[in-house]
Amino acid sequence: MASFTRVLVANRGEIALRIIRACHEEGLESVAVYSDADRLSPHVRAAHRAVPIGAPPAAESYLDVAKLLEAARATDCQAVHPGYGFLSERAPFAEAVALAGLTFIGPPATAIRAMGDKTEARRRMQAAGVPIVPGTTRPVADHVQAKSEAARLGLPVLLKAIAGGGGKGMRLIREEGELESAFETAQSEALKAFGAGELYVEKYLERPRHIEVQVLADTYGRVVALGERECSIQRRHQKLIEEAPSVAVTPALRRRLSEAATAAAGSVGYLGAGTIEFLLAPTGEFYFLEMNTRLQVEHPVTELVYGVDIVREQLRVAQGQPLRVHSGALQPRGHAIECRITAEDPFNDFLPATGVIRHLQPPSGPGVRWDAGVEAGNEVTLFYDPLLAKLIVWGDTRATALQRMRRALRELVIVGLPSSQSFHLRVMADPEFQRGDVDVTYFERVGQRLLAADLAPELAQPLAIAAALLAEQQRAEATPPPAAPAPDGPSPWLLAARRESIGG
Ligand code: ADP
């Protein structure tokens, strides 16, 4: 647990920039890494230094442990922040970082490993007295055993990959006859995605909410829970919109969830920031789903209602300092909502979109936070996750936050490729969502109806701005480029960036 002064940020996009900002506010130096596709990304410019780590495919850059460690060595970093995704939940990476004499900004590898195997995590939670979704706590050997477990639990059930993540290797079984072939496809999907094909069986809960609890733990034995996030607005088990707090959680339920979450984290010797995911049944019972042993995409909604900078706390804990969270911060204040702005076309089954962002006008004003990984001129490719930015708003009540999100979404202008913006506007205008009447099947049930709705007045503003910007750009492209700059003019790097943004 040594103090450090320079951090390698082993990630890209919005989360790399988020971590770099936290480093700077904490008085630390930052070193970014980037693949050839991310040369012009904002995180590269924001860091004190930036190291190229290879070709665009993640396997050749952001997932290449040797290159990351070499980048840390070459720039004299003493610590590595993995962000989320990529190597963040790979225990061998945490171990390799430690072996190289660097501090891994995250939990001990033993905690990552214990929670990374979902059946082991379920066994541990059971032992710690945390309720788990009914189902097996060991992998099932084959579809025959899965069938008998399904009969014991009662249909419907879910087949789940023990190494699962991102909804991969998960299959819903409503009829016994579906089991055999579903077992095979789930197994091969899991093998392909995680290199581990083992599956287990879990009771499928009807219309639960996804409620998760943020925890922070330090080396002084303190484990605190920063309340819950409501993450029920999902598509194919992927979160789209998150809120804090949840309208379904009373102070008494929050206390019980927090107790379960801190018990869960404490039972694996957790350190730093982590998230315990639960399913909350309509009956009010909650069940442990999994623990994410890393920073979460949706962490900002918690930051806004608890007044805590989670990334800065991670940096402190990793240096052996005590958490700065005081007990007064353990009550939520107001309401926060996050919309994930992705390069996906909601009108084409959320097909990932590629292209150059020709114009980008982020929303601003009171209570608005824009955590973006891209800016105008950047090219969006299929190499990485389609998340462009997170739009987060805070309001003193949920109704204020909702109005503010609608206002902010109307201010947002993205020209060059489709995004999820108009889907979010439709959700904000939906009476069911406004009532907080949501569960994990929300998108399945109302997605198509929302997308068919006429939203012209809501979208008039961004569309008009986009059209005007496009016309202006076409005019600019028709005029000859300016003469070469004088030797003491702007840096060639800046000019290159500018050319890129106009050329695309
Ligand atoms: P992954 O790790 O692949 O993301 P999770 O176990 O975290 O998988 O579950 C992701 C989502 O799948 C949940 O938020 C929920 O919407 C749905 N889900 C998972 N388990 C169940 C269950 N037992 N019953 C109903 N829905 C579930």
Q: pLDDT tens for residues 2-26?
A: 899 999 999 999 999 999 999 999 9
Nearest-5° Cα angle at 130, 124 to 131: 110
CA-nearest residue, atom 22 of ligand 1: 204
Q: Which CATH number fits domain 134-203: 3.40.50.300, 3.40.50.2000, 2.170.140.10, 3.30.1490.20?
A: 3.30.1490.20
pLDDT at 466: 80
- Is residue 119 within 8 A of residue 138, CB to CB? The reply is yes
Homologous superfamily assigned to 217-461:
ATP-grasp fold, B domain (3.30.470.20)
Q: Is 396 helix (H, G, I), strand (E, B) or coil?
A: coil
Between the CA of 431 and the centroid of ligand 1 the distance, in Å, is 25
Q: Which residues line ligand 1 (CB under 6 A)?
A: 133, 158, 164-167, 170, 202-205, 208, 210, 234, 237, 277, 279, 289-290, 440
Between the CA of 167 and the centroid of ligand 1 the distance, in Å, is 7
pLDDT at 451: 94
Cα 93 from Cα 453, distance rounded (Å): 47
Residue 300: phi, psi to the nearest 5?
-60, -30
| CATH assignment, 6-105 | 3.40.50.20
Cα 228 from Cα 332, distance rounded (Å): 9
Q: Specify burial of residue 474 (Cβ count, 10 A radius: 0-12, 13-18, 19+).
A: exposed
Residue to substitute in 162, 237, 239, 385 for testing ligand 1 pocket (most ligand atoms within 8 angstroms of CB): 237
The single-letter DSSP state of residue 329 is: G
Between the CA of 353 and the centroid of ligand 1 the distance, in Å, is 26
Sequence-separated (6 or more) residues with CB below 8 Å from residue 439: 207, 208, 209, 232, 282
pLDDT tens string 356-373: 999 999 999 999 999 999
pLDDT at 494: 38
Domain positions in the chain: 6-105, 134-203, 217-461
Catalytic residue among 294, 316, 369, 410: 294
- Is residue 413 within 8 A of residue 364, CB to CB? The reply is no
Task: Name the amino acid, one letter, at 332.
Answer: P
Q: Which atom of ligand 1 is nearest to the CA of 239?
A: 14
CA distances from 43 to 317, 349, 363 (A): 23, 30, 20
Between the CA of 411 and the centroid of ligand 1 the distance, in Å, is 33
- Give the residue from 414, 407, 358, 422 showing the smallest Cα distance to 389: 414
Low-confidence stretches of the chain (pLDDT beneath 50): 485-504
Active site residue 294: yes
Cα 394 from Cα 366, distance rounded (Å): 9
Nearest-5° Cα angle at 220, 217 to 223: 30
Residue to substitute in 210, 213, 234, 291 for testing ligand 1 pocket (most ligand atoms within 8 angstroms of CB): 210
State the pairing for strand pair 379-380/359-361: unpaired
Place of tokens 């930036």: 50
Helices (H), 397-481: 398-411, 421-428, 431-435, 442-452, 456-478
Cα 52 from Cα 41, distance rounded (Å): 12
Q: Which atom of ligand 1 is nearest to the CA of 202?
A: 23
